Amino acid sequence: MNTRPGSGPWCTFGRYQNLAWLKKPSLCLDFKLRELVALCTAALRPTQGTWDRFLRHLDTLQKSQKINSDEVTAILVSAMSDRLLREAESTEEDIGDIDAVTLDEVVDRVKASYAADSEKRLQAVTAAYDSACLKHKVKSKQ
């Protein structure tokens, strides 16, 4: 609690959460677990500066027509982007040293993962279609 002169007492939201949980822990049995998961998730995200740089890089790639808006959207929603950017941050001594080549590698790896996934799905659909066609041919011969 803060009691600075000229201002009223105030508490952080987290403090109120902790007080409520201490008073009646049965209201949310897994509160501390949820809080831990939220903190870990936040720690695994890239810094705001890196994320802003990545957004600018994607905008540049889109304006130069190297990627389209659908690809930008897919890259942004990919959890892999967060992980790769965080890895790039951890390998650099200075987070500000992440260059365009590194950001291009992140984009290329995310696009490659989507391509591999779509190839697997295409093969599964093709196999199911071929199997259905074969069953239909067998039934029609009977």
Q: Where are the domains of the chain?
A: 13-43, 48-141
The band of 2, judged by pLDDT with boundaries at 50, 70 and 90, is very low
pLDDT value at residue 64? 94
What does the block give as tokens for 111? 């696009």
Best-predicted range by mean pLDDT among 24-38, 48-62, 98-112, 127-141? 48-62
**Are the CB atoms for 2 and 9 separated by under 8 Å?**
yes
CB atoms within 10 A of CB 83: 16
Q: Largest alpha-carbon pair distance within the chain?
A: 93
First to last CA, the chain: 83
